[in-house]
């Protein structure tokens, strides 16, 4: 493993060393806390499907060893001399972005997520040449501009997935006007996993009518009873899908596996919008007929900017929106990864880093 000279702080974490799909204990170094930096004792880290994809090299761009984790919550232990907004003891979170150029049009609009030079929290090369390592580790040094405050009302474990799952659905919901306007507009959430279940929670908090489109009949009862979904459609049942034709204003597609957008587009009204946030390792199918005949729009969205992330976190504090999680100890990460691959989680694993690593 290459070591950057300015990286002197010893950290314990979990890393995948190869494509075997497993993580192992891993010691590495992080940079000293710089003038703009905040050091965080990591308490919890959510397990995003993206972690699984990097661990397995599903997208073909994994830099091993990879320390996953970009749904990080913890407590500040140290701040640099230029940091005024955070203090030791503060409860904070870090999501998918570690750095950006801070000087382009996107950065000026706090759309750091679309900056050309954006650096991801893990599996990316930093400006000092080092590889970024994520939150499956006991300590993180983060730039003050890429940290959010966690409201006191939110528990650090159930808030952790908001840093990726939450902001990834909140950002397009806001951009496409789903959270504004009259109540009763109809949203379809495709895939009831980590991202999907938070989309349902935001939608219900903002008065939308929510239809879940799922491959898992076993999720229906809980989706209706505890997530308060209005409708539940099995995407594998053609009759159920036909009965819902032209009924939705918007769709958020969070599916992690290859699929066709055709049957989903048929669910949209004329002019309806489908936002793709799921990132399967193989291309999704986009047939032209349902797109053309309904004048429908398909778009994509990548996580969210920092201002928007803080705004979402504050809204969650106000509306008491947290994630439904299964807390696992650090030595059970591999079991959780195996279950995540089998779509066996309600709805997000969160690793208890603080008390078990």
Q: Footprint of ligand NAP on this chain (CB under 6 A)?
A: 48-50, 53, 164-165, 168, 191-196, 214-216, 219, 254-257, 259, 277-280, 301-303, 340, 343
Considering the complex, what minimum distance in angstroms separates the CB of residue 39 from ligand NAP? Answer: 26
Nearest by Cα to 68 from 353, 354, 355: 353
Its sign, for the CA torsion 133, 20, 162, 139, is negative
| Whether the Cβ atoms of residue 167 and residue 46 lie closer than 8 Å to each other | no
Nearer to ligand NAP, 95 or 272 (CB): 95
Nearer to ligand NAP, 258 or 271 (CB): 258
Residue 146: CA count within 13 A, CB half-sphere: 30
Nearer to ligand NAP, 140 or 192 (CB): 192
Q: What ranges make up the beta strands (E) of the chain?
A: 7-15, 24-31, 37-46, 72-79, 91-94, 97-99, 119-120, 139-143, 148-149, 186-190, 209-214, 231-234, 248-253, 268-276, 297-300, 325-329, 348-352
Considering the complex, what minimum distance in angstroms separates the CB of residue 91 from ligand NAP? Answer: 23
Considering the complex, what minimum distance in angstroms separates the CB of residue 146 from ligand NAP? Answer: 15
Nearer to ligand NAP, 81 or 299 (CB): 299
Nearer to ligand NAP, 221 or 295 (CB): 221
Considering the complex, what minimum distance in angstroms separates the CB of residue 273 from ligand NAP? Answer: 16
Q: How far apart are CA 44 and CA 135, in angstroms?
A: 8
Considering the complex, what minimum distance in angstroms separates the CB of residue 12 from ligand NAP? Answer: 25
| Cβ within 8 Å of residue 110, ≥6 positions away | 305, 306, 307, 308
CB nearest ligand NAP: which residue?
A: 193
| Whether the Cβ atoms of residue 6 and residue 30 lie closer than 8 Å to each other | no
Name the token pair of 196: 């999907």
Q: In terms of DSSP bridges, do strands 91-94 and 72-79 run parallel, antiparallel, or are they unpaired?
A: antiparallel
Q: In terms of DSSP bridges, do strands 37-46 and 348-352 run parallel, antiparallel, or are they unpaired?
A: antiparallel
Nearer to ligand NAP, 11 or 148 (CB): 148
Nearer to ligand NAP, 159 or 195 (CB): 195
Neighbours of 60 (CB within 10 A): 6
Phi/psi at 275 (nearest 5 deg)?
-110, 125
Nearer to ligand NAP, 245 or 302 (CB): 302
Name the token pair of 299: 């778009």
Neighbours of 102 (CB within 10 A): 12
Neighbours of 3 (CB within 10 A): 10
Nearer to ligand NAP, 121 or 138 (CB): 121
Its sign, for the CA torsion 301, 194, 38, 6, is negative
Nearer to ligand NAP, 168 or 310 (CB): 168
């Amino acid at each position: 493993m290459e070591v950057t000279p300015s990286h002197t702080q010893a950290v314990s974490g979990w890393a995948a060393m190869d494509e075997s799909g497993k993580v192992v204990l891993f010691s590495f170094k992080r940079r000293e806390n710089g003038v703009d930096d905040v050091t965080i004792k990591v308490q919890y880290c959510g397990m995003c499907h993206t972690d699984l994809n990097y661990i397995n090299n599903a997208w073909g761009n994994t830099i091993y060893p990879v320390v996953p984790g970009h749904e990080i919550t913890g407590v500040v232990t140290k701040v640099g001399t230029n940091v005024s907004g955070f203090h030791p003891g503060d409860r904070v979170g870090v999501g998918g972005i570690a750095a950006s150029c801070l000087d382009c049009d996107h950065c000026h609009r706090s759309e750091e997520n679309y900056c050309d030079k954006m650096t991801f929290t893990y599996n990316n090369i930093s400006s000092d040449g080092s590889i970024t390592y994520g939150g499956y580790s006991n300590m993180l040094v983060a730039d003050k501009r890429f940290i959010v405050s966690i409201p006191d009302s939110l528990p650090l474990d159930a808030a952790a997935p908001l840093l990726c799952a939450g902001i990834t659905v909140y950002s397009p919901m806001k951009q496409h006007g789903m959270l504004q306007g009259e109540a009763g507009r109809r949203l379809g959430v495709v895939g009831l996993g980590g991202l999907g279940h938070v989309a349902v929670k935001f939608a219900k908090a903002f008065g939308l009518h929510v239809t879940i489109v799922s491959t898992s009949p076993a999720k229906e009862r809980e989706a209706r009873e505890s997530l308060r979904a209005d409708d539940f459609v099995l995407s594998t049942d053609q009759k159920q899908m036909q009965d819902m034709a032209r009924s939705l204003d918007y769709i958020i597609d969070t599916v992690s596996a290859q699929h066709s957008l055709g049957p989903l587009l048929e669910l949209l009204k004329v002019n309806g919008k489908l936002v793709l946030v799921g990132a399967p390792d193989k291309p999704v199918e986009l047939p032209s007929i349902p797109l053309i005949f309904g004048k429908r729009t398909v778009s994509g969205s990548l996580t969210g900017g920092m201002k928007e992330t803080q705004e979402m976190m504050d809204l969650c504090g106000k509306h008491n929106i947290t994630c439904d999680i299964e807390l696992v100890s650090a030595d059970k990460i591999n079991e959780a990864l195996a279950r995540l691959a089998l779509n066996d989680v309600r709805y997000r694993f969160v690793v208890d880093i603080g008390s078990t690593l």
